[in-house]
Amino acid sequence: MKELREIDRRLLEFKENAELMVDLAYSSLLYDNRVIAREVDVLETLMDREQNALERLAVEEVKNGESSVDRALVYIRLINALETIGDAAREIADVELRDMDVHPVFQMSVRDSERTITAAIISGESRFNGKTLKELDLPKEYGMWIIAIKRGNRWIYGPGAEVKITAGDWIIASGPPDMEDEFVEAAGRKVEWDTEED
C-alpha cells in the first residue's frame, strides 16, 4: 500500500472501525455477550473523540494551504456519516447492554441475510492452528472476515493480519451464509448462537 496522508490513513481506520462496530454489535446480541457490547460502547466513545480530531485536522489542512475548502467539507461530511454508522452500532449493542432478550426472529433474520455471523472454537487439528491471518487469507478462501478473537479471558477485536490463530481460540467471523459450514468445519467446533462459552 502506498504512503497515505495522515488524514487519509486515520479516516480509513475510522471507516473500518465503524464497519467492525456494526458486526460486533450484531455478534453481541447473537451470542448474548455483554463483553462485546461493552467493547462497542468503548469504540463508540473513541470514535467520537477521533471524529473531533479528524474534523480539526481537515480544517487545519485548509489553513496550512494543503487542502481546499471543498475538500475539507467532503472529509467532514464523510467523517460525520461514518460516525452515524458507529452510533447505529452502539444503538444495537444497547439492547445487550440493557440485558434485554431479543426475540428469536432476530437470529432468523441474520441467518437469512446475505451476510451472516458465525463463530468457532479452533481445534488442535485445525489447519488454522498456528497460522497468522495473513497466511490463512480467510476473506479470499471463504469470504469470511474475522471480527474478534477470544483467547482465554482476552479479546482481540478487529485482529490485524499478523495475529496468529491458536487452538482453543474462539473466533467470530462475518461472511456469506453458504460458506459458513465449510469455514466452521475447517476451524474446529461451531459455537452456537446464544450459548456463551467461558
Q: Which one among 6, 66, 91, 135 touches another protein, defined by CB under 8 A?
A: 91
By beta-carbon proximity to another protein, the closer residue of 62 and 167 is 62
7, 74 Cβ separation under 8 angstroms: no
Q: Does 45 bind another protein (CB under 8 A)?
A: no
Provide long-range contacts, Cβ within 8 A and 24+ apart, for 104-110: 106/29, 106/30, 107/30, 107/193, 107/194, 110/26, 110/30
Q: Which of 6, 108, 181, 197 binds another protein (CB under 8 A)?
A: 108
Q: One symbol per residue from 140 to 179: x for binding another protein (CB under 8 A), - otherwise; what is it?
A: xxxxxx-----------------------------xx-xx
Binding to another protein (CB under 8 A) within 3-42 occurs at 4, 8, 11-12, 15-16, 22, 25, 29
The only residue of 112, 125, 162, 198 in contact with another protein, by rule CB under 8 A = 112
CA distance 45 to 27: 19
Q: Which of 46, 59, 78, 97 binds another protein (CB under 8 A)?
A: 78
Binding site for another protein (CB under 8 A): 1, 4, 8, 11-12, 15-16, 22, 25, 29, 70-71, 73-74, 77-78, 80-82, 84-85, 87-89, 91-92, 94-95, 100-106, 108-110, 112-115, 139-145, 175-176, 178-179
